[in-house]
Chain A
Amino acid sequence: MLWLRLAWKEISNNYKFSLFFVLNLGIGLIGFIALDSFKHSIDQHLANNSKAILTADVEISSRFPLTAKETGFAEAFLDTRFEATNQISFLSMVAANNNSRMSQLVAIEAGFPQYGDLVLQQRGSVQKTSARAELLSGDNIWVARDLMVLLGLQIGDQVKIGAREFRILDVVLDDPTTSISAMNNFPGIYMGIAQIESTGLIQLGSRISYARFYKLPPAFELKGLREKFTKAAQIEFKEPRRVTLTTHLDQSADLGRILTYMNDYLGLIALIALFLAGVGAAYLFRSFFTSRFKDMAILMCLGGTPQQAYYMTLMQIVLLGTISAAAASLAAYFALPVLPSLFTSFLPHGFTNSMDVNSLILALFMGTLGSVICCLPILSKIYSLNPVGLFHEKVEPSAIGPHWLRNTASYAPILLVFWGLAIWQAHSTRIGTVFIAGFLIAIGLLAAIGWAILRVCGLLSGSVTVIRKLALRNLDRNRMGALSCFLAIGLGSLLINLIPQIQKGLQQEIASPARFTMPDFFMYDIQPEQIDPLQQLLKQQGYALAFQSPQVSARLDVINDKPFGAALETADEQRMQRRMYNLTYQDQLKASEAVQEGKAWDGAWLPDSTELPGISVEQNFAKRMGLKIGDTLTFDVQGVPVQGRIVNTRKVTWNSFQPNFMVSFQPGPLDPAPKTFVAAISKVAANERLHVQNSIVNAFPNISIINVQQIVGRVLDITDQISWAIKVMAWLAILAGLVVLFSIARYEVKSRFWEINLLKILGASFTDIKAIVQIEFGILGFCAAFTGTALSLAMSYSLAWFVFDRLWRFDALLTAGSLVAITALSMLTALIATLSVLRQKPLELLRAT
């Protein structure tokens, strides 16, 4: 209590300085809270969207009724609290008005859906109304709008399903679950579980899907859950794939991959926010502590022990830190929820931003315990503090002494705590460790480079004008102070610049290039003789067939005269051998392809040619299979061997919405092979889609047609939001970084007021003083930003290598921009701070010291 009183007295006596300190730390912490909270809001928003497609966090399913042993096993595996709801679904022919259609019957319980919502024509939201209870109360059904149109049905009509008649209660207008089953894209009919059993369609041999959906606590880790479950289930049940577990991340390979990137990216952002706040707080705390050495020396002169001196100062810092964190939290609490309303036009629908409890805890931690941890290294220095220092201009403990081991060891808690926090923030030991290791290397390199630059400043000071000489000598003389500022700015710019390079790479991977537009329909299984009549049919309706590509099913048999897979021993490797490939053949590359290595072929291959037909392989496929240009491949094309030679590797833009293939042949050898075609139709008006789809299904029932907008639209919507979030977070990180840098630069200049004052007393003009400070901070800012940025390129590249599948693109504009911005910010902040010092009278400044 005594320490607290003493500390508070000190603070109130120096209220101006205290306020300044609180303001600086507060600004930095607001940046951190905003960034971290926004990250959580985005994470939550995207996860909710993806969960809405599955309607749950996790689903276990089987083609056979789930036994108590199986559900018990799954629930023991999940080992957490949950809410569960069952579902039975299968395909069945539904007939009405002399017409019949394949439909997906879905039987639900009252708990469906656990996430997301179904929208009904008359009752609206399923979540917000009593629609479910009505449905489950009798022989009622909800029918998808498409099926209503196709079978000419009305609400209230009776429909016979199996042995029973059902009444149409309502029409499903919006169903997020339709986004999953691209291959089984049949319109849905919802009913109760008790009712589906009475249809008599569930018999021996029926192909039924039994599922149990789980809603789990928000923090439950889903990544890798499916793989772990598969292994555990195999051991338990001895039969693979009998019961499968799917998390909302596994529904779409692409979406899952992108959500994982996003998760890692947001983890990285959180780390950046943490370290930015850490660098800012550590810098300010240490500077504050150092500035208090004089008071401590006085206290020790008056008989205080180093411990007592330390406690008092530390208590001051803890108090100031707590006040800053509380003020920052309060400001963020009111400001954050308001922010989305200012940007409604570019925020995704339904996005809410709220302060995250974790961010708050971390901010308070930074303000309170953070100060203790950051000041531990200085604590050890107190033992080297000599009251004789009071007679020096600056009181500093001797750097080298008998306590060097304790000095070095005192850094260990910082390292351990930040390592732990990094892992916690990134939700990944790997990312957290890679990050902290990179950060430590960067600190070492920055310190070494900074030291060398400051030394060079001293050497250069001999041969320049007085102003420059003073500026350069200041930097050299005050090398420890300048170095800590250099480190803070350097680390700040490193953190700021880590994001743009990864952001650009990720965005290129995720967002589909603007030049490719998404078609409305994809069709596959088109027989060769159906191409012409199909084109005719579409032409009559004003549409055209696009991207038609032949598809030939074949098995890779021989690579360079060696049977493929002969040397493979494991079952997995041998399974690869059986892998059938869909080959295509084409005259020239599509817009989504580019030759990476080798040459494109010229025209068709002729049977009398002395050369083998050309083969083009996708670059990653070639890498995976160890293929190179010149290799010969022999495919078993349904009983007939067809040989070719690899003449080029291709780069394929997979998210181009065009049919893309791993292996493409020169036209000629595969022309007579049995094949089907894939093709697309674009630019179909929304109200025409059902009609177009229907006309194709009626004329060519064997052609599978996928309503891309319906299936991919929702996933793409999430992808777009992710792409948007990645960009926004990058800018926010830069902004938060600049805020922290601003508070560091401001503090640093303020701490120079003694020197500035001295110069003023000695008769230096305001212009000269301004110029000296500008040069000093210009050099510091530029050199630190340059070094930090260069290091960030190396670090972001390795992060991309380890975490983001090497998705890294150099963003020259952003890099140069941040370099200019940081230098300008350092100089501008220095100038503003100098002006405020200059405005004060020298006498006031003298009194203040």
Chain B
Amino acid sequence: MLRSLLIVLLLLTAGTTTAAEKQFTILFLGDSLTEGLGLDSGQAFPELIGKRLQAAGRSDIKVINGGVSGSTSASALSRLQWYVRAKPDLVVLSLGANDGLRGLPVAELRTHLTETIEFARKSGLKLALAGMMIPPNYGTDYTANFAKVFPELAQLYQLPFLPFLLEGVAANPALNQGDGIHPNAEGAKIVADHVYTFLAPLLPVK
């Protein structure tokens, strides 16, 4: 009896130990905003979130910066298929800005994001969606139709949703680089704060 109890205890302890050591991986699947174009090493918002988690003693959480400059939503599915090898526990999908800036049809954006979300579901990946808006000069109809895609998909698939990735940063010259669209170091910090607050409830409790 005692022997059996010991084995169970050992197993439980072993189980607890494994759970404690298991890493929780967050994958940020995005574009240049995620990659940190024009910023120095370690200044992109996913890296800032990683550092903040480390500082908070969350060494069990690993962050992968899957940002590729210039990428559109068309690449989302194949990229997520590649990242499945890294077994992410949470995917933050923040693609679409380049679709908008290049004036790609809104229906295409919707299709690509839908395919990606459905693949994540089938693969058992937890996915959060970051919304995007495009500058008003692109025209009232186009900007409105574009912005609608993200909340609609989030609602349809019941996804955790961040309404606008660049909230509080976009259009502010002091927080953006000279090109007017990529956050500078200060801007990236605000994005990181904002995304961190959004992610906090989605992270495993220590």
Q: A: which residues have CB within 8 A of B?
A: 62-64, 90-95, 100-102, 162, 186, 201-208, 239-244, 525, 527-529, 553, 565, 571, 574-575, 577-578, 580, 638-640, 672-676, 701-702, 704
Contacts A93-B141, A571-B40, A704-B102 given; indicate if A242 touches B136 (C-beta within 8 A). Answer: no
Chain B residues 118-150 with CB under 8 Å of chain A are 135-142
The answer, yes or no, to whether B61 is at the interface (CB within 8 Å) is: no
Q: B: which residues have CB within 8 A of A?
A: 27, 35-36, 40-41, 64, 66, 68-75, 78-79, 81-83, 85-86, 99, 101-105, 108, 112, 135-142, 170-171, 173, 177-181
List the 5 shortest-distance A-B pairs measured between CB atoms, nearest first: A102-B103, A241-B178, A63-B180, A205-B171, A702-B74
Q: Do B64 and A639 have beta carbons less than 8 Å apart?
A: yes
Q: Do A92 and B137 have beta carbons less than 8 Å apart?
A: yes
Q: Once the chains are docked, how many angstroms separate the CA of A248 from the CA of B181?
A: 25
Closest to A574 in B: B41
Q: Do B75 and A527 have beta carbons less than 8 Å apart?
A: yes
Residues of A contacting B41 in the complex (Cβ-Cβ under 8 angstroms): 565, 574-575, 577-578
Q: Once the chains are docked, how many angstroms separate the CA of A92 from the CA of B171?
A: 17
Residues of B contacting A575 in the complex (Cβ-Cβ under 8 angstroms): 40-41
Q: Once the chains are docked, how many angstroms separate the CA of A28 from the CA of B192?
A: 73
Q: Do B142 and A702 have beta carbons less than 8 Å apart?
A: no
Q: Do B137 and A638 have beta carbons less than 8 Å apart?
A: no
Residues of B contacting A186 in the complex (Cβ-Cβ under 8 angstroms): 103
Q: Do B139 and A92 have beta carbons less than 8 Å apart?
A: yes
Q: Do B35 and A580 have beta carbons less than 8 Å apart?
A: yes
Q: Do A639 and B27 have beta carbons less than 8 Å apart?
A: yes
Q: Contacts A102-B138, A673-B82 given; 14 further ones with Cβ under 8 A?
A: A91-B101, A102-B102, A102-B103, A162-B140, A201-B139, A204-B171, A207-B181, A242-B178, A525-B72, A527-B78, A553-B69, A565-B41, A674-B75, A701-B104
Q: Do B177 and A241 have beta carbons less than 8 Å apart?
A: yes
Task: Give the residue of B69, B99, B105, B136 whose beta carbon is less than 8 angstroms from that of A205.
Answer: B136
Q: Once the chains are docked, how many angstroms separate the CA of A565 from the CA of B74?
A: 33
Q: Do A207 and B180 have beta carbons less than 8 Å apart?
A: yes
Contacts A64-B180, A91-B103 given; indicate if A701 touches B137 (C-beta within 8 A). Answer: no
Q: Once the chains are docked, how many angstroms separate the CA of A525 from the CA of B83?
A: 19
Q: Once the chains are docked, how many angstroms separate the CA of A672 from the CA of B83?
A: 11
Shortest Cβ gap from B196 to chain A (Å)? 20
Task: Give the residue of A201, A525, A639, A674 whose beta carbon is less than 8 angstroms from that of B136.
Answer: A201
Q: Do A206 and B135 have beta carbons less than 8 Å apart?
A: yes
Q: Do B86 and A702 have beta carbons less than 8 Å apart?
A: no
Closest to B143 in A: A93
Q: Do A244 and B105 have beta carbons less than 8 Å apart?
A: no
Residues of A contacting B139 in the complex (Cβ-Cβ under 8 angstroms): 92-95, 162, 201
Q: Once the chains are docked, how many angstroms separate the CA of A330 from the CA of B79?
A: 72
Residues of B contacting A574 in the complex (Cβ-Cβ under 8 angstroms): 40-41
Shortest Cβ gap from A160 to chain B (Å)? 9
Q: Do B86 and A639 have beta carbons less than 8 Å apart?
A: yes
Q: Do A202 and B178 have beta carbons less than 8 Å apart?
A: no
Q: Do B105 and A207 have beta carbons less than 8 Å apart?
A: no
Shortest Cβ gap from A552 to chain B (Å)? 10
Residues of A contacting B82 in the complex (Cβ-Cβ under 8 angstroms): 638-640, 672-674
Shortest Cβ gap from B30 to chain A (Å)? 11
Residues of B contacting A91 in the complex (Cβ-Cβ under 8 angstroms): 101, 103, 137-138
Contacts A93-B141, A638-B83, A704-B102 given; indicate if A578 touches B177 (C-beta within 8 A). Answer: no
Q: Do A674 and B171 have beta carbons less than 8 Å apart?
A: no
Contacts A527-B75, A578-B41, A638-B79 given; indicate if A92 touches B179 (C-beta within 8 A). Answer: no
Q: Do A674 and B137 have beta carbons less than 8 Å apart?
A: no
Task: Give the residue of A203, A553, A571, A702 whose beta carbon is less than 8 angstroms from that of B108.
Answer: A702
Residues of A contacting B66 in the complex (Cβ-Cβ under 8 angstroms): 638-639
Closest to A244 in B: B178
Contacts A575-B40, A638-B83 given; indicate if A205 touches B141 (C-beta within 8 A). Answer: no
Residues of A contacting B35 in the complex (Cβ-Cβ under 8 angstroms): 580
Q: Do B40 and A92 have beta carbons less than 8 Å apart?
A: no
Q: Once the chains are docked, how many angstroms separate the CA of A162 from the CA of B136?
A: 10
Contacts A574-B40, A578-B40, A702-B74 given; indicate if A241 touches B179 (C-beta within 8 A). Answer: yes
Residues of A contacting B101 in the complex (Cβ-Cβ under 8 angstroms): 91, 207
Q: Once the chains are docked, how many angstroms separate the CA of A702 from the CA of B70?
A: 11
Q: Do B85 and A640 have beta carbons less than 8 Å apart?
A: yes
Q: Once the chains are docked, how many angstroms separate the CA of A390 from the CA of B41?
A: 85
Interface centre among A94, A525, A639 (most CB of B within 10 A): A639
Q: Once the chains are docked, how many angstroms separate the CA of A731 from the CA of B134?
A: 57
Residues of B contacting A638 in the complex (Cβ-Cβ under 8 angstroms): 66, 68, 79, 82-83
Closest to A528 in B: B78
Q: Do B103 and A63 have beta carbons less than 8 Å apart?
A: no
A and B contact pairs by CB, cutoff 8 A, 16 listed: A63-B178, A92-B139, A162-B139, A206-B137, A553-B69, A553-B71, A565-B41, A574-B41, A578-B41, A639-B83, A639-B86, A673-B82, A674-B79, A674-B82, A701-B104, A702-B108
Residues of A contacting B68 in the complex (Cβ-Cβ under 8 angstroms): 553, 580, 638, 674
Q: Do B72 and A702 have beta carbons less than 8 Å apart?
A: yes
Q: Once the chains are docked, how many angstroms separate the CA of A702 from the CA of B102?
A: 9
Q: Do A674 and B78 have beta carbons less than 8 Å apart?
A: yes
Closest to B68 in A: A553
Closest to B32 in A: A580
Q: Do B173 and A202 have beta carbons less than 8 Å apart?
A: no
Q: Do A701 and B108 have beta carbons less than 8 Å apart?
A: yes
Shortest Cβ gap from A690 to chain B (Å)? 18
Closest to B38 in A: A241
Interface centre among B36, B79, B136 (most CB of A within 10 A): B136
Q: Do A701 and B75 have beta carbons less than 8 Å apart?
A: no
Residues of A contacting B69 in the complex (Cβ-Cβ under 8 angstroms): 553, 580
Q: Once the chains are docked, how many angstroms separate the CA of A612 from the CA of B180?
A: 43
Shortest Cβ gap from A534 to chain B (Å)? 13
Closest to B180 in A: A63
Q: Once the chains are docked, how many angstroms separate the CA of A578 from the CA of B79?
A: 20
Task: Give the residue of B36, B86, B103, B171 whose beta carbon is less than 8 angstroms from that of A93.
Answer: B103
Q: Once the chains are docked, how many angstroms separate the CA of A528 from the CA of B27?
A: 22
Residues of B contacting A243 in the complex (Cβ-Cβ under 8 angstroms): 178
Residues of B contacting A674 in the complex (Cβ-Cβ under 8 angstroms): 68, 75, 78-79, 81-82
Q: Do B141 and A95 have beta carbons less than 8 Å apart?
A: yes
Closest to B135 in A: A207
Residues of B contacting A676 in the complex (Cβ-Cβ under 8 angstroms): 75
Residues of B contacting A92 in the complex (Cβ-Cβ under 8 angstroms): 137-139
Shortest Cβ gap from B166 to chain A (Å)? 10
Q: Once the chains are docked, how many angstroms separate the CA of A525 from the CA of B102?
A: 12
Q: Once the chains are docked, how many angstroms separate the CA of A499 from the CA of B36?
A: 48
Q: Do B83 and A90 have beta carbons less than 8 Å apart?
A: no
Residues of B contacting A206 in the complex (Cβ-Cβ under 8 angstroms): 135-137
Residues of A contacting B138 in the complex (Cβ-Cβ under 8 angstroms): 91-93, 102
Interface centre among B66, B71, B108, B139 (most CB of A within 10 A): B139
Q: Once the chains are docked, how many angstroms separate the CA of A100 from the CA of B71?
A: 23
Residues of B contacting A241 in the complex (Cβ-Cβ under 8 angstroms): 177-179
Q: Once the chains are docked, how many angstroms separate the CA of A579 from the CA of B24?
A: 27
Q: Once the chains are docked, how many angstroms separate the CA of A578 from the CA of B101?
A: 24
Q: Once the chains are docked, how many angstroms separate the CA of A639 from the CA of B46?
A: 13
Shortest Cβ gap from A305 to chain B (Å)? 73
